[in-house]
Amino acid sequence: MPLGQRAGDKSESRYCGMEVLDFPAGEELPAVLSQSLSSAFDFLLAPLVDPGYRPAPGAVLPVAASDLVLSPSQWSSHIVGKISEWIDLDSEDEQLRLDSEVTLKQEIAWASHLSLQACVLPPPKRSSCANYARVVNHILQGLTNMQLWLRIPLEKSEPMDEEHDEAKNNSNMTLGYGGIHFDYYVGCSLIRSTLPSMNSLGRWFGEPVRAAILQTNAFLTNSRGYPCLSKRHQMLLTGFFNHSVQVIISGRSNHNISQVGLLSGDENHTEDTSVRHALGPYLEYIAYIYQRMDPLPEQERFEINYRDFLQSPLQPLMDNLEAQTYETFEKDTVKYSQYQRAIAKALVDRVSDDEVSTIKTVLMVVGAGRGPLVRASLQAAEETGRKLKVYAVEKNPNAVITLHSLIKLEGWESLVTIISSDMRCWDAPEKADILVSELLGSFGDNELSPECLDGAQRFLKPDGISIPSSYTSFIEPITASKLHNDIKAHKDIAHFETAYVVKLHRVARLAPTQKVFTFDHPNTSSNPSNQRYTKLQFEIPEDTGSCLVHGFAGYFDAVLYKDVHLGIEPNTATPNMFSWFPIFFPLRKPIHVPSKSPIEVHFWRCCGSTKVWYEWAVTAPSPSPIHNSNGRSYWVGL
């Protein structure tokens, strides 16, 4: 039974399981499952094989139960297999190591026979675990439908901080030995000892965490004697819920409660019923945490299917946009509201109140599309009482057809002149007072706004106004295991040298954003080149610990006019705007960043006669190749 209803959330985080601690031999497993399901748990994490088993010639695997004691749907829907915890694949004892390898393969084979959806592997016994990686990779090559979850302790123990930190990072790298692509997840165990810092915990959101195994000794006791969690545990749990992570309750009850309380709106409010399950109070508290989360905002619901989905950026000069793309962008009312505000301010600055009856402002919309900026401009003129003459310049002949229909429908024939031409080639009959465009990409300049506006600048008056007047790109290093594995699946370098537009979700942001490139319009620089180079150094917060960098997330912030801006840079992002997702610059090989080590990255914006492209490389703490040299894999065509 789901933990509750949360508007917009259809993820598997709604389901909670429990770990079976004792070996359920024979008919015990169906009884345990039946009791757990009737007590609102959704699945069991259960041992598959007697923990006392060691392989021997002719020995039959002592499984917990025959495959006949549960139906195939029960096995696949309600049981997650727990691999024997004694297994030590990197033991110095050769016999133990060999027995571990044989047993692991036998248990995985049995789990696959049962059609289980997942098995939980025991945590590595030491930070160096190459043989563990080798054996698991062998197994993964033969699996098709079953996932492997690796149990990793998540705790803070002062004398062992570095060891735990190293183990956590080795878990990222261990299963990647040999360069084999696979689909694995991490199950992390929360225990009672003090949690690491929030920066350190934040790294987990960039990892493929599938389940949070929450031990009962992590719970505190409230004033009524019921289990509850510390504020930091609650924050972490909420973060996991937001990242589609399921909870598995593990351990024995530490709270002597004769009556189970049903929580309703207040963690101290209970209604008494008879006891049904020893872990019932813990489940109810987890349900309470889930149910009190805010519903997903409307924008998040709209974007949920795009989460962590890699998309190639638009090629607006090479390709003509389709009607569906135009329609999606035109629904972003926040963006056009900001444009209208900027245009209104520019009109007021351009024409004083005393001149409104005598002066007509010439405004050119370059890249008019199907007309949303034309509409915003005319609405700004009506709002401010200014006279306006509009030129709508658009190169897409299909969009021009729609423009003509719009102008006729709205009765704007005397106000708007439609020009079917590339703005870089058009010879304007007069100079413009205001030049308006929406040529910005996720990285600001990545859809060639600088090149387009530099080409159109010749028909802007010397004292004319450009909207936008400037824009700046930003980047930050991120951990993004899912994105890395999705790119790796293509098995070529070119995909690692391509920038992607992506709704970032399962990522860990490791350091504050920094500025990359800035472009101003009109461009009055003595050096008109749009080539750029910058070197940036990111300091990872000290309490984060070591981490993996899979690439860099890119954003932009644009000044439309004076104090009117729009953008997606996280610190200043325009609320409720969905026209742009961030851009992602991947690294061919993840960079391991030790604690207290800075990240040094270089970015180039290169311009050729027919294309513009980016190159990027990391030089510290370890060097990476220069990605996309000479635009060999990814470019934007002029």
Give the separation between CA 569 and CA 582, rounded to whole angstroms.
8
Number of neighbours of residue 454 by Cβ within 10 angstroms? 18
Active-site residue among 107, 438, 451, 476? 438
**DSSP 8-class letter at 145:** S
555 has which bridge partners?
474
In 34-180, DSSP assigns E strands to: 43-47, 79-82, 118-121, 147-154
What's 454-482 look like in SS3?
Answer: HHHHHHEEEEEEEECCEEEEEEEEEECHH
Contact 484, 504 (CB under 8 A): no
Contact 373, 399 (CB under 8 A): no
Give the separation between CA 613 and CA 604, rounded to whole angstroms.
8
Whether 94 sits among the annotated catalytic residues: the reply is no
Contact 429, 419 (CB under 8 A): no
Give the separation between CA 552 and CA 574, rounded to whole angstroms.
21
Active-site residue among 447, 451, 476, 615? 447
Give the separation between CA 364 and CA 416, rounded to whole angstroms.
10
Give the separation between CA 122 and CA 177, rounded to whole angstroms.
18
336 is in an annotated binding site: yes
In order of 127, 207, 332, the CA distances from 173 in angstroms are: 11, 11, 41
CA 347 to chain centre: 40
Residues in the chain, total: 638
Give the separation between CA 148 and CA 112, rounded to whole angstroms.
11
423 is in an annotated binding site: yes
326 is in an annotated binding site: yes
Whether 438 sits among the annotated catalytic residues: the reply is yes
3-state secondary structure (DSSP) of residue 604? strand
Give the separation between CA 269 and CA 288, rounded to whole angstroms.
11
> Which amino acid, 9?
D
Please provide the distance, in angstroms rounded to a whole number, between the alpha carbons at the two ends of the chain: 55
93 is in an annotated binding site: no
463 is in an annotated binding site: no
Residue 593 contacts by C-beta under 8 Å, 6 or more apart in sequence? Answer: 477, 510, 540, 546, 547, 548, 549, 599, 621
> Which amino acid, 127?
S
CA neighbor of 552 nearest in space, from 478, 459, 626: 478
Residue 432 contacts by C-beta under 8 Å, 6 or more apart in sequence? Answer: 362, 363, 364, 391, 459, 460, 461, 464
Residues making up the binding site for S-adenosyl-L-methionine = 326, 335-336, 394, 422-423
Residues involved in catalysis = 438, 447
Residues annotated within a binding site? 326, 335-336, 394, 422-423
